[in-house]
Amino acid sequence: MSRLPIAAGNWKMNKTIEEASEFAEALLGFSPNTSDIEIILCPPFVSLYPLSQKLAHTGIKLAAQNCHWETKGAFTGEISVPMLLAVQCQYVICGHSERRHIFGETSEDIGKKVKTAIHFGLKPILCVGETLEEREAGQTEAIVLNHLSHGIATLTNEEALSLVVAYEPVWAIGTGKAATPQDAHQVISFIRQQLAEKFNEKTAEQIRILYGGSVTPENVFDFMKDSEIDGSLVGGASLDPTKFNKIILESLRPYQ
Ligand code: PGA
């Protein structure tokens, strides 16, 4: 079963609107292939609308970095799913490790975000992954299972088809120490097995599972040539249009 690969750039709290716009122009200058791979930019909220204008009809898609599970109301500082859809967002990152560890988001909160996103037609990129301490204590699968099972707890089989999962070991994020493709393969196969148990084999085969954590133009091919790994969620290396374009090209190489 072939799954459309993904190259997603998570800019985190980087780039003003002007810088975001310059990036988009530079990336478009490379005429990236948007038919054989989904290219997704995840800028800060304020750049979503201007980028939606700039990227209209280019095939490059937008993701938000977070959302709230309620659709409106007294939630100061939050952004709702309908607001994101109104600026042509198609994806939303749910449960990034920085949201979990710096801002104290719980797996239950993240599950509610995933459910609301799918309900309204926004595709969640659900992030799961263990810390170094948890890995060294042999808890990788238990932690990943905990993140995953809460994240997808209330999804139906049909809803699950909108889901993307990103395996992002916390110790690999922003450290320059990526997981080995073998480690990523092992955990991603485990995730797919769990998805098959929760939904069914056919559904699990259709869900894209990404790797994230110190992905670079140099190492992305080694992840992408593993048929279990459907793409990457890239932080640091996605801030530079030349590097990100290289990541897109390298991600496509195993498919050619
Ligand atoms: P990194 O970040 O590529 O800078 O390690 C990945 C992420 O946090 O999604």
Q: How many whole angstroms from 25 Cα to the centroid of ligand 1?
A: 23
Query: What pTM value is reported for the model?
Result: 0.98
Task: Verify whether residue 168 is a known catalytic residue.
Answer: yes
Is 185 a catalytic site residue? no
- Cβ atoms 214, 177 nearer than 8 A: yes
DSSP codes, the chain:
-----EEEEE--S---HHHHHHHHHHHHHT----SSSEEEEE--GGGHHHHHHHTTTTS-EEEES---SSSSSS-TT---HHHHHHTT--EEEES-HHHHHTS---HHHHHHHHHHHHHHTPEEEEEE---HHHHHTT-HHHHHHHHHHHHTTT--HHHHTT-EEEE--GGGTTTS-PPPHHHHHHHHHHHHHHHHHHS-HHHHHHSEEEEESS--TTTHHHHHTSTT--EEEESGGGSSHHHHHHHHHHHHGGG-
**Residues in Cβ contact with 227 at an 8 Å cutoff, skipping those fewer than 6 apart:** none
User: Can you tell me the distance from the alpha carbon of 94 to that of 137, in angstroms, rounded to the nearest whole number?
Assistant: 26
**Residues in contact with ligand 1 (CB, 6 Å cut-off):** 10, 168, 173-174, 212-215, 233-237
Residues 242, 167: Cα–Cα separation, whole Å? 25
Task: Please report, in tens digits, the pLDDT of each residue of the chain (256 residues total).
Answer: 589 999 999 999 999 999 999 999 999 999 999 999 999 999 999 999 999 999 999 999 999 999 999 999 999 999 999 999 999 999 999 999 999 999 999 999 999 999 999 999 999 999 999 999 999 999 999 999 999 999 999 999 999 999 999 999 999 999 999 999 999 999 999 999 999 999 999 999 999 999 999 999 999 999 999 999 999 999 999 999 999 999 999 999 999 8
Q: Are 103 and 77 in contact (CB under 8 A)?
A: no
The length of the chain in residues reads 256
Q: Residue 170 and residue 200: Cα distance in Å, rounded? A: 28
Q: What is the best residue among 173, 232, 246 to mutate for testing ligand 1's pocket, by most ligand atoms within 8 Å of CB?
A: 173
Catalytic option among 105, 130, 159, 168:
168
- Looking at residue 1, what is its pLDDT? 54
Partner residues linked to 232 by β-bridges: 7, 211
Q: What is the CA radius of gyration of the chain?
A: 17
Residue nearest to atom 2 of ligand 1 (CA): 235
> Per residue, what are the HEC states of 10-38?
ECCCCCCHHHHHHHHHHHHHCCCCCCCCE
Joined together, the tokens standing for residue 207 give: 């869900």
pLDDT at 168: 98
Q: Whose CA is nearest to atom 7 of ligand 1?
A: 235
Our mutation pick for probing the ligand 1 site, out of 10, 94, 98, counting the most ligand atoms within 8 A of Cβ, is: 10
